[in-house]
C-alpha cells in the first residue's frame, strides 16, 4: 500500500480515497499527484491559504474512490501454519460459518497445517458413502480419543487443543457426564475423514489396481466397508502393485468377503481374522483411514 494512503481504509470498501499527509509534502504536490486542481483539494477538505496541516492528517481526494476488489474464491484452500478459520474467511471475503458448514466443522475445531478446506459447496459431485453405516463421519486419525482409566474431560480437551465446551457439544455430553474407559469420544477438528493431512496418496499404478479391485467388488455387491477391508489387506500384502500381488488372490479375497454376513463385519482387523488373515490383520487395519480416502476419491472420479 502507498505510504500516503490511510492504512485503515479497506481495499474493498468503495469509500472515498484518503491521503495521509506526510512531512515535507505540499498541497500542490498532492493535488498534482491525483490529477486535481489545488482549489479542488482545498475545497473538499475545507482548507484555505492560512490552514495548518500536520503530518498524519487525512485528506479526502475528491472524485476518487477505492475500487472495490472482489476476492477470487478457489474451490479449495491448503491451510498453512498460523492460519485460522477467521483469517482464511477474511482472505476470500467469506463468512466463517459458511466454511464450517461446507467442511462440517464445529466452532471449536482444530485447524491442522496441510488440511485442505473446501471453500465452494458442490454436494452434487460428492459420492454417496453414507449408505454404509461404517463410513467414518470424523477423521479416523485425529478425530477420536479412546478413554483410558483416570481420563478427565477437561484434560482430554486440553490434550487435543480444543475447549472443554466444544468437546462436550461434539459428544452430546454435559459438564457432569461420566465417561467409561474404553469408550471413544469425538474430537472436534477442522478436517473430514477424506482430507486429513496424514492420509497416504496412491501412486498412479496403485490407483489403477485399487480401481479394478473396487470394480470387481461392486459386481459382487460388496459394501463400502467390505471394499475398504479388501483395500487394506491388498496394500499390506502387496502395496497394491501388480508385480507383487496376484489378481487371483484378490478375487478370492473379494469372494470370501462377499460370503460374510453383515453382523460379521465389525472392524477391519476382526473381519480379516475371520477369513484367515490373522497375521496380516493388525498391519492391514492401520491402512483404514487412507483406504476410506482412496475409495472416496476413486468413486468421485467415476461420478
Domain-by-domain residue ranges, the chain? 16-65, 76-125, 144-186, 204-302
Architecture of domain 144-186: Roll (3.10)
Which pLDDT score is estimated for 5?
Answer: 46
At 54, is the pLDDT very low, low, confident or very high (cuts 50, 70, 90)? confident
pLDDT of residue 2: 45
Q: How many helices (H) and strands (E) does the chain have?
A: 12, 6
Contacts of the segment 84-91: beta carbons below 8 A, 24+ positions apart: 84/111, 85/109, 85/111, 85/190, 88/117
Q: Which CATH number fits domain 76-125: 3.30.1370.140, 3.40.640.10, 3.10.20.10, 3.10.350.10?
A: 3.10.350.10
Mean pLDDT for all residues in the chain: 82
pTM above 0.75, yes or no: no
pLDDT score, position 130: 52
Q: What is the DSSP string of 171-200?
A: TT--TT----TT-EEE--BSS-TTS-TTPP
pLDDT band at residue 17 under the 50/70/90 scheme: confident
What is the chain's alpha carbon radius of gyration, rounded to the nearest angstrom?
29
Asked if residues 67 and 53 have their Cβ atoms less than 8 Å apart, the reply is: no
* CATH number 3.10.350.10 given to 16-65: yes
Q: Is it true that 76-125 and 144-186 share their CATH fold?
A: yes
Amino acid at each position: 500500500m502507498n505510504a500516503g494512503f490511510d492504512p485503515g481504509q479497506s481495499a474493498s470498501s468503495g469509500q472515498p480515497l484518503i491521503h495521509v499527509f506526510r512531512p515535507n509534502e505540499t498541497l500542490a504536490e498532492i493535488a498534482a499527484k491525483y490529477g486535481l486542481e489545488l482549489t479542488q483539494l482545498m475545497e473538499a477538505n475545507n482548507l484555505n491559504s492560512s490552514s495548518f496541516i500536520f503530518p498524519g492528517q487525512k485528506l479526502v481526494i475528491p472524485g476518487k474512490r477505492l475500487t472495490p476488489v472482489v476476492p477470487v474464491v478457489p474451490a479449495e484452500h491448503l491451510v498453512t501454519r498460523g492460519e485460522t478459520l477467521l483469517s482464511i474467511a477474511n482472505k476470500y471475503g467469506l463468512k466463517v460459518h459458511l466454511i464450517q458448514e461446507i467442511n462440517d466443522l464445529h466452532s471449536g475445531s482444530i485447524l491442522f497445517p496441510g488440511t485442505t478446506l473446501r471453500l465452494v459447496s458442490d454436494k452434487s459431485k460428492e459420492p454417496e458413502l453414507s449408505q454404509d453405516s461404517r463410513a467414518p463421519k470424523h477423521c479416523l486419525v485425529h478425530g477420536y480419543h479412546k478413554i483410558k482409566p483416570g481420563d478427565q474431560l477437561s484434560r482430554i480437551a486440553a490434550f487435543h487443543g480444543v475447549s472443554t465446551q466444544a468437546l462436550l457439544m461434539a459428544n452430546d455430553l454435559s459438564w457432569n457426564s461420566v465417561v467409561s474407559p474404553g469408550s471413544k469420544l469425538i474430537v472436534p477438528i477442522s478436517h473430514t475423514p477424506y482430507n486429513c493431512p496424514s492420509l497416504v496418496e496412491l501412486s498412479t499404478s496403485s490407483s489403477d489396481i485399487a480401481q479394478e479391485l473396487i470394480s470387481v467388488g461392486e459386481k459382487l455387491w460388496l459394501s463400502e466397508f467390505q471394499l475398504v477391508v479388501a483395500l487394506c489387506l491388498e496394500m499390506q500384502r502387496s502395496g497394491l502393485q501388480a508385480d507383487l500381488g496376484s489378481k487371483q488372490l484378490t478375487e478370492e479375497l473379494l469372494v470370501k468377503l462377499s460370503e460374510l454376513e453383515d453382523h460379521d463385519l465389525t472392524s477391519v482387523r476382526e473381519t480379516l481374522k475371520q477369513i484367515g488373515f490373522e497375521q496380516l490383520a493388525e498391519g492391514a487395519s492401520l491402512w483404514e483411514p487412507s483406504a476410506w480416502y482412496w475409495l472416496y476419491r476413486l468413486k468421485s472420479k467415476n461420478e
